[in-house]
Amino acid sequence: MGRVARVLLLGPYVLLLAVFFAIPLVLMLAISLSRQSYGQMEWTFTLQHYAHFFTDAYYLGVLGDTLWLGALTTAASLLLGYPLAYHLALTRSRWKPLLIVFILSPLLVGIVIRCYGWMILLADRGLINETLVQRGWIAKPLPLMYNKFGVTVALVHVFLPFMVLSLTGVLKRIEPQLIEASQTLGASPRRAFFEVTLPLSLPGVLAGSLLVFSLAISSFVVPILVGGFKVHVLPMVVYEQVLSVFDWPFGAANALVLLAISVALIGVYIKVTERALRGIV
Amino acid sequence: MILRAAVGLVYAFLLLPMVIVVLAAFNAGNYFTFPPQGFSLKWFANFFHRREFMQALWLSTELGFWTAAISTVIGTAASVVLVRGRFRGRDALNAFVTSPLLLPQILTGVALLQFYTLLKMQASYAALLIGHVVVTTPYVIRTVTATLTHFDLALEEAAQSLGAHPLRAFFEVTLGVIKPGVVAGAIFAFAISFDNFTLSLFLTSSKLTPLPIELFAYLKYSFDPTAAAVSAFAIGVALVLVLGIARFMGLEEFTGF
């Protein structure tokens, strides 16, 4: 393929990305280092917005909560996703395509709709509470929504498919002969799982966890709808600063903190998946 | 046996909210209780009679169509180079073109909003469309790349040695073979755009609201099942699109397992 052909084919998208993705991100960095007075940008160099963020107990608390929710979501997704991925990787069932649809379809259904489903279930007058109260099992509704519990449940639901996809990819590449060999050598199925399958699937576990964690800490639809603005997370602060308070530099600085965490995670993620793909597991 | 039961429960967890939304959409009552209070289509009627929902639905459909069309063309072109080209910096370029996929969309949204505002093109149709193309094209590239890697280059060379112009060989042979991946990529791009919320939130105005944004605005103030009808409709659209991908590419190929 000649140079001209390459440029013609690749050029449009690379140019689009450079102008409408790379430059805006650089601009956001510049804004986070500038001042704003009376709605006008003053292009200066200051670290005051970052200093503000890292010295204010409220924002540090928000950052802590964000990371904590991310960790909870990741752990729960792993716990629920592993059996699912294991089953999907090994099954010879003719229903397999249907199972893939089940896993994929939540991904293709908008996030607002999925949150709404959880709101119908978890609200004070929602399906679960209403049913329990009517049966007389509880006197007043359980606090299922507008708190960290509800947010975590919905976050796990939203990001579980990513975990399953990451895990299945790795589990499927484990040679069945390895497990058979360990069993021929006298290992129980349980021991074969813990000493062969599980260690070999660790790259998938790590990749899936990094992906889910980085998606979970940047989600703000779930905290807004299921958390009802009562669970404060970093992306929500970004959203409020940029779209309600109109404090662009501070909003941009918040976004950059989130960006730094994501980029670090993505870096590790790429290293992990590359190694897994090369087969050095 | 325990594994099967556990797997069944997790599938139930995955599907539950969507099943509930669909049931609530056909339920007669204002609150969804169990057992349901009877079948009714009134929430759908309300959805189809509300101007703002109809305008949003039309905008989302049109936007999804144009997004899919543009991202499929430039994404397929880029994939051809990324799979076949042998040049320095290919790996770096590969990482660059898929980076919108890895970066949280709220960051892309904020960055684009500030960029557009300084250029005085915020909340325009073009701004929204470009934003969508930026985030959907990596999906097209990934899907098309998957089919292109299986393609036997000898076929195209055979066409050329039989006298076909390289361009003709590409359009008549290669494109014919990778068509499933291209179509699946296009459908996926439409789906991503049609359901996109995070990016759209930063790029829309009161005059330019796609369906997910309209639904979000509605949910902030009211809880009535019209929202369920809108959601059930969107779930129906998603199902049709998944079936489309399954039909053209096969889901095992599409997901890589």
Residue pLDDT, tens place only, A85-135 = 998 888 888 888 888 888 887 778 888 999 999 988 898 888 888 888 888
pLDDT higher than threshold 50 for residue A5? yes
pLDDT higher than threshold 60 for residue A202? yes
Asked if residue A24 has a cis previous peptide bond (ω within 30° of 0), the answer is: no
Mutate to test the interface with B, among A3, A8, A21, A221 (most CBs of B within 10 A): A21
A235 vs B contacts (CB less than 8 Å): 104, 106
pLDDT higher than threshold 60 for residue A279? no
Q: What is the pTM of this model?
A: 0.88
Domain count, chain A: 1
Q: What is each CA distance from A93 to A76, A97, B131, in whole angstroms?
A: 27, 9, 41
Put simply, the chain B residues between 111 and 150 with a CB less than 8 A from any chain A CB are 111-115, 118, 130-131, 133-134, 137
Nearest to B238 among A9, A99, A105 (CB): A105
pLDDT of residue B34: 65
A14 vs B contacts (CB less than 8 Å): 78, 93, 96-97
Using 50, 70 and 90 to split pLDDT, how confident is the model at A278?
A: low
Q: Return the CATH number at A242.
A: 1.10.3720.10
- On whether the CB atoms of residues B241 and B191 are closer than 8 A, the answer is yes
Please list the residues that pair with B205 across neighbouring strands. Answer: B208
Does residue A11 lie within any of the structural domains? no
Measured between alpha carbons, how far is A265 from B252 in angstroms, rounded to an integer? 28
Does residue A149 lie within any of the structural domains? yes
Measured between alpha carbons, how far is A69 from A48 in angstroms, rounded to an integer? 28
- Average pLDDT on A12-25 reads 94
Does residue A203 lie within any of the structural domains? yes
pLDDT beneath 70, residues of chain B = 33-34, 255-257
Alpha-carbon torsion (B137, B142, B147, B150), positive or negative: positive
Question: Who wins on pLDDT, A57 or B205?
Answer: A57
Measured between alpha carbons, how far is B180 from B205 in angstroms, rounded to an integer? 37
For tokens 């999804």, the residue is: B64
Both tokens of residue A53? 């963020």
Using 50, 70 and 90 to split pLDDT, how confident is the model at A270?
A: confident
Chain A closest CA to B41's CA: distance in Å?
19
Does residue A79 lie within any of the structural domains? yes
Put simply, the chain A residues between 146 and 185 with a CB less than 8 A from any chain B CB are 157, 160-161, 165, 168-169, 172
Domain housing A129:
49-278
Both tokens of residue B176? 């014919």
Kindly determine whether residue B219 and residue A112, on different chains, have CB atoms separated by under 8 Å: yes
Chain A closest CA to B60's CA: distance in Å?
12
pLDDT of residue B38: 78
Does residue A165 lie within any of the structural domains? yes
Put simply, the chain A residues between 81 and 140 with a CB less than 8 A from any chain B CB are 81, 83-84, 86-89, 96-97, 99-106, 108-114, 116-121, 123, 125-127, 130-131, 134
Mutate to test the interface with B, among A13, A94, A166, A233 (most CBs of B within 10 A): A13
CATH number of B17-27+36-255: 1.10.3720.10
Q: DSSP letter string over chain B?
A: -HHHHHHHHHHHHHHHHHHHHHHHHTBSSSS--SS---B--HHHHHHHH-HHHHHHHHHHHHHHHHHHHHHHHHHHHHHHHHHH---TTHHHHHHHHHHHHHS-HHHHHHHHHHHHHHTT-TT-HHHHHHHHHHHHHHHHHHHHHHHHHH--HHHHHHHHHTT--HHHHIIIIIHHHHHHHHHHHHHHHHHHHHH--HHHHHH-BTTB--HHHHHHHHHHH---THHHHHHHHHHHHHHHHHHHHHHHT-HHHHHT-
CA-derived radius of gyration, chain B: 22
Both tokens of residue A86? 């294991």
Condensed to tens digits (0 to 9), the pLDDT of residues A137-193 reads 888 888 888 889 999 999 999 999 989 988 888 888 887 788 778 888 878 888 888
Measured between alpha carbons, how far is B249 from B187 in angstroms, rounded to an integer? 11
Question: Who wins on pLDDT, A268 or A71?
Answer: A71
Condensed to tens digits (0 to 9), the pLDDT of residues B178-187 reads 888 899 899 9
B99 vs A contacts (CB less than 8 Å): 17, 21
Question: Who wins on pLDDT, B155 or A28?
Answer: A28
pLDDT higher than threshold 50 for residue A280? no
Residues across chain A: 281
Half-sphere exposure of A33 (CA within 13 A, CB side): 9
Q: What is each CA distance from A170 to A167, A235, B3, in whole angstroms?
A: 5, 31, 19
Kindly determine whether residue B15 and residue A100, on different chains, have CB atoms separated by under 8 Å: no
Does residue A36 lie within any of the structural domains? no
